[in-house]
Amino acid sequence: MAGGAARGSGRIYLLAPEGSEEQLRTVPRETDGAPETLLAELISGPNPEEQEQGYGTAVPTTLELESVRLDDAVVQVDISDDLLELSGGDLTDAVAQIVFTASEIPGAQSVLIRVDGAIQEWPDGSGTQHRGPLTVYDFIGYAESSQPPFPVTPAPTTAVPPSTTTTTTTTTAPATTVPPPTTVVTATAAPAPTTTTTSVPAATTTVAA
């Protein structure tokens, strides 16, 4: 079975050509926005042109898709037991392909893969087994689209130093203007009492005459 033409707004994840930095890479597919069609295209694998370019898949083309539904942001993917025949890196790659592709469904935040309706344990990118839903962040570095969210985070930190410099300059300015008021008060208060005391002897001289 060969995959469909590489066109459309849908995206599936295939094994990247040999020599690529990431294990998975997206290719376009026409799905009309239907989740079932998206997963069916993934199971079909790369088309002849993509195969010539070195694309591959770890998902068995004999895999049967029982159902796909979105439930509270969790994509429930029910498949046949063909996936259980895989092991090691092949199983991890196949699970990653399903998780990344199903995460393309609008509103999806995680993916739960069932086999004939039963929950199974699946490995993440580090080999750890999970019985619950998986996300693309359980396969960091696996696909080209898993990296962009992280470099964006440090950006706000760069804006902090300028505001710190401004605060220091403002605090120093008021300290320079404090001394002048202190000097004026001292000079005015001292002479006033001295002048009043000097006028008392003049009144005494007039009575004697």
Per-residue model confidence as pLDDT tens digits over 56-86: 999 999 999 999 999 999 999 999 999 999 9
d(CA 47, CA 54): 11
The model's pLDDT over 178-190, given as tens digits with 9 standing for 90+, comes to: 444 443 333 334 4
Maximum mean pLDDT: which of 3-7, 52-56, 168-172: 52-56
> Percent of the chain beyond pLDDT 70?
67
Only one residue has tokens 């037991």, namely 81
d(CA 59, CA 24): 12
Only one residue has tokens 């199974």, namely 120
CB-CB contact of 28 with 8 (8 Å): yes
pLDDT confidence of residue 5 = 74
d(CA 11, CA 24): 12
DSSP-based three-state secondary structure for 61? coil
Where does the pLDDT of residue 131 fall: very low under 50, low under 70, confident under 90, or very high at 90 and above? very high
pLDDT for residue 150 is more than 50: no
Closest by CA to 144, choosing from 56, 5, 14, is 14
Task: State the average pLDDT over residues 38-60.
Answer: 96
d(CA 149, CA 132): 23
Q: Give exposure, 133-151, as e/b (b: 16+ Cβ within 10 Å).
A: bbbbebbeebbbbbeeeee
Closest by CA to 20, choosing from 126, 86, 93, is 93
Pairing of strands 74-79, 110-115: parallel
Q: Is the dihedral of CA 25, 31, 36, 42 positive or negative?
A: negative
CB-CB contact of 84 with 95 (8 Å): no
The neighbouring-strand residues paired with 74 are 71, 110
d(CA 22, CA 141): 6
CA 17 from centre of chain:
27
Angle at 79 between CA 38 and CA 5, to 5 degrees: 25
pLDDT for residue 154 is more than 60: no
Where does the pLDDT of residue 43 fall: very low under 50, low under 70, confident under 90, or very high at 90 and above? very high
